């Protein structure tokens, strides 16, 4: 590995320091090992390259994608890996809720999760829409961490036969690049005001005090995650924390058996079933209206 590549990787890792992640760790490692090139994009280009959350509609059922790494706003991560902006996704979701042409919303999930920014609020918002229109989330085929956090707010969670769901957990990282910088004959001096202003920086080893502060933040968001899943799934926080909330991904059958999902099924099956239910409901309403008119 060349010095330039080593430096790029170190900088890439260091850039994640301090962030709180709700993302499946294996997929995160793969992303960190990807060397992003040609990253001189404007804000407009980044926003345009981010998953636009366009949806398809089939007989009154809207299919809204939740793909790739999840970030609060469009970023290089969402642009390069085809990820989702919480802001953009939330707006698209609200448009579907308000649309008279949409009778049910199916969330097509294929995401490892992302940062926690905006995710608790979005999940709470989705859960608050329950009862207005049916909301079904489908793991098609990867529903992890922050993606599951959002999906747990739906009325029902379905996992494709080859799909997985879970990775309930939160983490952060500290990358100490001081040894690498020393190898290259470089030294960083941080000049700051405020005792904790540069705490946890990547240019020196992590102190125990800084570690404790980071752990406190991680625990805070994990508690929010567990509480949201418990509310969404109709379970106790203890059941989630001691059961499927330990951070592992579960395959389709195991996810259903654990209570993490409702059933195994494909996206196509879910859309077809919702279309039938909407058609049946429309027919019942027409019949009731005819009976009312005939009775007058």
Q: What is the pLDDT of residues 169-202, one digit of tens each?
A: 999 989 888 998 899 999 999 999 999 999 999 8
The per-residue pLDDT for 56 is 84
pLDDT over 80 at 2, yes or no: no
Q: Regarding beta strands 70-71 and 21-23, do their DSSP bridges make them parallel or antiparallel, or are they unpaired?
A: unpaired
Q: Regarding beta strands 113-115 and 164-166, do their DSSP bridges make them parallel or antiparallel, or are they unpaired?
A: unpaired
pLDDT over 50 at 9, yes or no: no
Least confident of 43-57, 81-95, 159-173: 43-57
Give SS3 for 251.
strand
Cβ 108 vs Cβ 138: under 8 Å:
yes
| Rounded distance between C-alpha atoms, residue 252 and residue 159, angstroms | 5
Segment 106-143, tens digit of pLDDT: 999 999 999 999 999 999 999 999 999 999 999 999 99
Domains of the chain (ranges; CATH) run: 3-286 (3.90.226.10)
pTM equals 0.91
The per-residue pLDDT for 276 is 95
| Token output for 68 | 């790739």
Q: Regarding beta strands 249-251 and 164-166, do their DSSP bridges make them parallel or antiparallel, or are they unpaired?
A: antiparallel
3-state secondary structure 45-104: HHHHHCCCCCCEEECCEEEEEEECCEECCCCHHHHHHCCEEHHHHHHHHHHHHHCCCCCE
Higher model confidence: residue 289 or residue 209?
209
Tell me what the mean pLDDT of segment 204-227 comes to. 96
């Amino acid at each position: 590995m060349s010095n330039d590549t080593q430096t790029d990787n170190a900088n890439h890792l260091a850039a994640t320091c301090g962030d709180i992640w709700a993302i499946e760790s294996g997929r995160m490692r793969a992303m960190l090992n990807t060397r992003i090139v040609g990253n001189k994009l404007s804000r407009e280009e980044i926003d345009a390259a981010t998953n636009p959350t366009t949806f398809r509609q089939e007989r009154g059922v809207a299919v809204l994608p939740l793909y790739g790494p999840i970030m609060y706003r469009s970023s290089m991560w969402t642009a390069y890996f085809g990820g989702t902006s919480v802001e953009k996704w939330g707006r698209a979701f609200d448009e579907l809720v308000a649309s008279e042409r949409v009778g049910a919303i199916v969330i097509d999930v294929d995401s490892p999760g992302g940062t926690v920014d905006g995710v608790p609020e979005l999940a709470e918002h989705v859960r608050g829409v329950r009862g207005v229109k049916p909301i079904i989330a489908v793991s098609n085929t990867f529903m992890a961490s922050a993606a599951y956090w959002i999906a747990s707010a739906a009325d029902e969670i379905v996992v494709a036969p080859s799909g997985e769901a879970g990775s309930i957990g939160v983490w952060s990282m500290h990358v100490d690049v001081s040894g690498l910088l020393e190898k290259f004959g470089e030294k960083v001096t941080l000049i700051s005001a405020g005792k904790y202003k540069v705490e946890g920086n990547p240019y020196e080893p992590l102190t125990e005090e800084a570690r404790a502060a980071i752990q406190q933040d991680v625990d805070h968001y994990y508690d929010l995650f567990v509480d949201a899943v418990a509310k969404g799934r109709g379970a106790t926080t203890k059941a989630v924390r001691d059961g499927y909330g330990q951070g592992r991904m579960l395959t389709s059958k195991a996810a259903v058996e654990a209570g993490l999902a409702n059933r195994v099924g494909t996206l196509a099956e879910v859309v077809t079933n919702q279309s039938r239910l909407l058609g049946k409901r429309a027919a019942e309403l027409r019949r009731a209206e005819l009976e009312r008119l005939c009775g007058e």
